[in-house]
Structure 1
Amino acid sequence: MSTGTTKRRHRRFKVPGIATALAALLLPLAIVAGASPAQAAEATATYTKASDWGTGFEGKWTVKNTGTATITNWTIEWDFPSGTAVTSAWDADVTHVDNHWTAKNKSYNGTLSPGASVSFGFNGTGSGSPSNCTVNGAACDGGSQPGDAPPSAPGTPTASNVGDTGLTLNWTAATDDKGVQNYDVYRGSSKVATVTGTSYADSGLTAGTTYSYSVKARDTANQVGPSSGTLTVTTSGGTGGPGGGEVKLGYFTNWGVYQRNYHVKNLVTSGTAGKITHINYAFGNVTGGRCAIGDAYADYDKFYGADASVDGTSDSWDAGALRGNFNQLRKLKKMYPNIKVIWSFGGWTWSGGFGQAAANPTAFAQSCYDLVEDPRWADVFDGIDIDWEYPNACGLTCDTSGPDAFRNLMQALRAKFGSNNLVTAAITADATDGGKIDAANYAGAAQYLDFYNVMTYDFFGAWDAQGPTAPHSPLTSYNGIPREKFTSADAIAKLKAKGIPAAKLNLGLGFYGRGWTGVTQAAPGGTATGPAPGTYEQGIEDYKVLKTRCPANGTVAGTAYAYCGGQWWSYDTPQTIAGKMTWLKNQGLGGAFVWELSGDTSNGELMTAIDNGLK
């Protein structure tokens, strides 16, 4: 695991074709996987438009053997409309004649045992979708009545104009070879309307109440297709959530006790402990479908003498005595009983384990509960936080567990941890159309969570080594932003539009900057030659270092930037934090959180700015 940057290295943003989440547009196609017609219905293929960045897109085919015999080869053929084309492909050999395209398996992925699946992807240009799919000359639908299949599932609804007693639903259209006739709208399990368009205004609701919605399509033969995903939305009014910026949360990393020499006592000496409401302790591991210890030595074994201990008392060497960060946090809570400590699991490095956890959410939740509530440190923690980067999308690894996997995991955790413990999650801020927010059912999971920490940072950075330079945590858009909807405001607006209460959303701040070198202009948008040097990693540096090494000399999109000696950095200052705190209060958000506490100055000036801004 990388020291000091496990969570904040959000390189998912740098290559849209790889890092953007699976979009909602799914075109199910049955596929013939061998020469025999008898095999026609024994495999399926699904096409996904995984991402779209305006000038191009990423497509993906997934082939699954649904029969009882092994498949040894597969070949998919389809047509693209004029202007749409494949430019590069991987894990399949793709050729074409005019607008007709053919993909054949590689030598290593042609064999599929029953139940197995394989995917290949490609980058393309144009906006069209595949049609006239065949495999080995046979129709791809694999059914006995080609062309008479029911419609596909509509897109998961989103909510807008959410008020005390009403809201408006919108969804993306279903597809059908004969045409979609109308849509059935469900509130919970009850059908409340049948409409011909892709929107519906519901009314007569109760203020401050949570509702769930889904949609099914009917074709002209009156066949009903599968259900969309489920939207969960809470009307305004009623008792509501806290709102108004009551959450002031900071991440404390277990690896910070090493090279960074940052310990729980620093929260006291800097004055930070008196200005925060929550600490997320990062990270626990996720492996084998279970929660696990992240760093046993730092967590509960490291010895603290009297001079380094929070309360001036040395740790005990007695057998079974608790030491390390856990004991220091226990002491901190005795001094500051208002602070809630939450154990965070996953992060950038360990999120790959969530896919297996999602296969059995109940077992995962049990393992997490057993670890968090271990008698040795049960009094230290007030709940659990999940930092899955990213459900049904790509981070360090790519997850394909489906849009409802995250919701199911949160439901199981809430059921196990009960109402007396906090259950929270850190989530993506990718608000692009079909991006990571769209990839998972965050709205459906919101009912099980106390709040979301929206990671509104690391939008831009020196993983794009030649630039253009841009603020890594822009509050709003600006002329020349390298990618639209990569802003805090866009992320919050999209999550609210999906029906997540504003009071359950916390705005993310970075106590660090991201920078480039070889830059020749002070204004944003300049070219660069690579990442600027950093203490622990190129292209990233703590605020406490940057404030004197490269002081801020401008602002853009509510965030400071600095130009010095050919380097260009962006980071938040006490002044820009004040502006962001005003903005989040006007939005009715729950509060703010920071990654991570060791980047602040020794007198905690950034956390002081948050505290002052939320009073």
Structure 2
Amino acid sequence: MKRSVRNGLVVAAAVALAAAVVPIVTSTANAAGNLSATFTVDQDWGSGWGATYKITNGTSSAINGWTLEFDLPAGGQITSFWDADVVRTGQHYVAKNKSWAPTLAAGASISWGMNGSGAKPPINCKINGVVCSGGTPTSNPPSSNPPSSKPPSSNPPTSNPPTSNPPSGSKKVVGYFAEWGVYARNYHAKNIDTSGSASKLTHILYAFGNTTGGRCSIGDSFADYEKAYTAAESVDGVADTWDQPLRGSFNQLKKLKAKYPHLKVIWSFGGWTWSGGFTQAAANPAAFADSCYSLVNDPRWAGVFDGIDIDWEYPNACGLQCDTSGPNAFKNVISALRSRFGSSKLVTAAITADGTNGGKIDATDYAGAIGNLDWLMPMTYDYFGSFSAQGPTAPHSPLNCYAGIPTAGFCAETAINKLKSKGIPANKLLLGIGFYGRGWTGVTQATPGGTATGAAPGTYEQGNEDYKVLKNTCPATGTIGGTAYAKCGSNWWSYDTPSTITGKMSYAKSQSLGGAFFWELSGDTSNGELITAVSNGLK
């Protein structure tokens, strides 16, 4: 499938777990001095749970540092944590205050959180070396929020409290945030908040990291962690300073996660332009995985990323470059990543949606990799476009293969069916949506199938335009294959609208898919018309 260059297209996506639960609270007060620790189970979704430990200084003077020790019953474990430094030895855990919060003032409290699995609550509690007193579990009102997804943090809490409730339901809503969008597009992490998108997303894919020399590497250091944000541009209204250790989009995403604790961020590597290094990575998957783990978990941006996404275009097939690593290469790379990142981090992949016989899906053992992936994102868009300059015109993201489609099998339904037939569980497949259109010029025929003379003009790329522009400059006049199209003058465009997205989400639910993902956030309107249709359509 044709994909745009680096400032073009890719999507992939993320975890939403939800169940109505009854939180458990266990209060354990220090016997000497009223320093207390309160353990609260906020969510329980069967296979795991989310909880908070609140440390309160009930004394009349400041406490310089705290250390909380406890055991989890056999079978219990903490799988991730944030806002504390935690060390595990068997079933014994030692949590300490972060370096940015060494002092707990008289009467003050600080909370740190965790996700876990198995038995709970903690036992054998000590705080600052003193045995905690008893405590009896009590019930809080039921909660329908999914588990907290906030990862470890190295920044002090912002002045903004957590905002809004996380998305309800079990479906994932995953959106790409393009690294280069902070330049000409002037799209920043704050826009994810102000558009209302943050409360609807379950996961953000940060695109892209590079794969130079078969290693994970930085794509754009200025955009990633060097760019200074003013107070007006910043998620929390606080300007960056010249000497702070982390700036750029990474720091803004960390602030966004503090404001929306349900959000997870995944670093995506590769894409159309930067997939060349995967061939070398396939020759030594363990070395590749080591490099990725070190970069994703670099202490400079601790707490930003919850996992890694691989956007290899395309294993054992041709994209911008051709790969001949064989059908097992992708499976081997994913296996190495899972071994290195472990079970507590997300490992996902955006893959081809070419479901034709002998096509790109058939070229790789995607089913063999699925056991080590949290989900797969077939890129069910960019099937057709002005990369075929003379046409025929056709929608770039058809859900269904209609009569007269230029290439038989080039539609989302065919790709999904083929992946499922290979044994990939439906709930590990996400449906791809484009928040943009593809268009031709020199077109005389209003309906699909007409000839053209080249690419229609686009703001940033010929033949490509954001939905937020097209909805006004070339409103949709018809639908085909489950998506929309329009002819304006001699230009012909195809793109998804809130209405066609609603139809696609209905299909995703009927097929028991895991949710949807989209490329990319800046293509939506300032009030998030398209992501609203995705989110509402999956409920």
| AA in 1 matched with 2:258 | K
Q: Which of these residues, 456, 459, 473, is aligned with residue 549 of structure 1?
A: 473
| AA in 2 matched with 1:287 | T
2:313 corresponds to: 389
| AA in 2 matched with 1:263 | H
Cα distance in 2, alignment partners of residues 278 and 512 from structure 1: 20
1:4 corresponds to: 7
| AA in 1 matched with 2:373 | L
Cα distance in 2, alignment partners of residues 246 and 286 from structure 1: 30
Cα distance in 1, alignment partners of residues 170 and 483 from structure 2: 19
1:474 corresponds to: 398
1:348 corresponds to: 272
1:194 corresponds to: none
CA contact (8 A) 2:10 2:176 kept: no
Measure how far apart 1:475 and its partner are: 0.2
Cα distance in 2, alignment partners of residues 349 and 557 from structure 1: 29
1:33 corresponds to: none
Q: Deviation string for 1:330-350 (max 9, x for gaps)?
A: 000000010110000000001
Cα distance in 2, alignment partners of residues 378 and 581 from structure 1: 34
SS of structure 2 residue aligned to 1:456: coil
Cα distance in 2, alignment partners of residues 571 and 288 from structure 1: 36
Say whether residues 1:428 and 2:370 are aligned partners.
no
Measure how far apart 1:4 and its partner are: 2.4
Moved >6 Å (runs of 4+):
none
Measure how far apart 1:464 and its partner are: 1.0
| AA in 2 matched with 1:249 | V
2:536 corresponds to: 612
CA contact (8 A) 2:9 2:519 kept: no
Say whether residues 1:311 and 2:314 are aligned partners.
no
Say whether residues 1:412 and 2:336 are aligned partners.
yes
Say whether residues 1:274 and 2:199 are aligned partners.
yes
Say whether residues 1:571 and 2:495 are aligned partners.
yes
CA contact (8 A) 1:316 1:322 kept: no
Cα distance in 2, alignment partners of residues 485 and 592 from structure 1: 21
Cα distance in 2, alignment partners of residues 282 and 429 from structure 1: 19
Measure how far apart 1:257 and its partner are: 0.3
SS of structure 2 residue aligned to 1:328: helix
CA contact (8 A) 1:299 1:326 kept: yes
CA contact (8 A) 1:386 1:424 kept: yes
Distance 1:322 1:508, change over 3 A: same
Cα distance in 1, alignment partners of residues 489 and 274 from structure 2: 37
Matches within 5 A, 1:70-469: 246-318=171-243, 321-469=245-393
Superposed CA RMSD in Å reads: 1.4
Q: Deviation string for 1:556-591 (max 9, x for gaps)?
A: 000000111011100000000000000000000000
1:143 corresponds to: none
Measure how far apart 1:6 and its partner are: 5.7
CA contact (8 A) 1:247 1:592 kept: yes
**TM-score of the superposed pair, with normalisation by structure 1:** 0.61
CA contact (8 A) 1:244 1:588 kept: no
Cα distance in 2, alignment partners of residues 3 and 599 from structure 1: 15
Q: Which of these residues, 479, 488, 508, is aligned with residue 432 of structure 2?
A: 508
Measure how far apart 1:468 and its partner are: 0.7
Measure how far apart 1:3 and its partner are: 5.8
| AA in 2 matched with 1:315 | D
Q: Deviation string for 1:193-241 (max 9, x for gaps)?
A: xxxxxxxxxxxxxxxxxxxxxxxxxxxxxxxxxxxxxxxxxxxxxxxxx
Measure how far apart 1:316 and its partner are: 2.4
Cα distance in 1, alignment partners of residues 453 and 329 from structure 2: 41
CA contact (8 A) 1:471 1:559 kept: yes
Q: Deviation string for 1:374-401 (max 9, x for gaps)?
A: 1111211000000000000000000000
Cα distance in 1, alignment partners of residues 487 and 171 from structure 2: 35
CA contact (8 A) 1:553 1:562 kept: yes
CA contact (8 A) 1:390 1:436 kept: yes
SS of structure 2 residue aligned to 1:356: helix
Q: Deviation string for 1:267-303 (max 9, x for gaps)?
A: 0111001110000000000011210000000000000
CA contact (8 A) 1:245 1:585 kept: no
Bigger-Rg structure (1/2): 1
Q: Deviation string for 1:3-24 (max 9, x for gaps)?
A: 621648xxxxxxxxxxxxxxxx
| AA in 2 matched with 1:295 | D
Higher relative contact order, structure no. (Cα contacts within 8 Å, ≥ 6 residues apart): 2
Cα distance in 2, alignment partners of residues 546 and 342 from structure 1: 29
SS of structure 2 residue aligned to 1:291: coil
Cα distance in 2, alignment partners of residues 509 and 534 from structure 1: 19
Measure how far apart 1:264 and its partner are: 0.4
Percent of aligned positions with the same letter in both sequences?
Answer: 71
Matches within 5 A, 1:574-589: 574-589=498-513
Cα distance in 2, alignment partners of residues 341 and 499 from structure 1: 28
Cα distance in 2, alignment partners of residues 362 and 300 from structure 1: 27
**TM-score of the superposed pair, with normalisation by structure 2:** 0.69
Structure 1 unaligned residues grouped into runs of 5+: 9-242
| AA in 2 matched with 1:415 | S
CA contact (8 A) 2:353 2:412 kept: yes
CA contact (8 A) 1:504 1:589 kept: yes
Q: Deviation string for 1:6-55 (max 9, x for gaps)?
A: 648xxxxxxxxxxxxxxxxxxxxxxxxxxxxxxxxxxxxxxxxxxxxxxx
Measure how far apart 1:245 and its partner are: 6.1
| AA in 1 matched with 2:345 | N
Q: Which of these residues, 488, 498, 511, is aligned with residue 422 of structure 2?
A: 498
CA contact (8 A) 2:230 2:239 kept: yes
Q: Deviation string for 1:363-384 (max 9, x for gaps)?
A: 1000000000011112110000
| AA in 1 matched with 2:283 | A
| AA in 1 matched with 2:172 | V
SS of structure 2 residue aligned to 1:577: helix
1:187 corresponds to: none
Cα distance in 2, alignment partners of residues 398 and 385 from structure 1: 21
Measure how far apart 1:247 and its partner are: 0.5
CA contact (8 A) 1:245 1:589 kept: no
Q: How many residues align?
A: 380
CA contact (8 A) 2:6 2:271 kept: no
Cα distance in 2, alignment partners of residues 564 and 2 from structure 1: 26
CA contact (8 A) 2:190 2:234 kept: yes
Measure how far apart 1:614 and its partner are: 1.0
Q: Which of these residues, 531, 537, 540, is aligned with residue 455 of structure 2?
A: 531
CA contact (8 A) 1:244 1:585 kept: no
Measure how far apart 1:461 and its partner are: 0.5
Measure how far apart 1:592 and its partner are: 0.3
Structure 2 unaligned residues grouped into runs of 5+: 12-167
SS of structure 2 residue aligned to 1:342: strand
Q: Which of these residues, 459, 476, 485, is aligned with residue 409 of structure 2?
A: 485
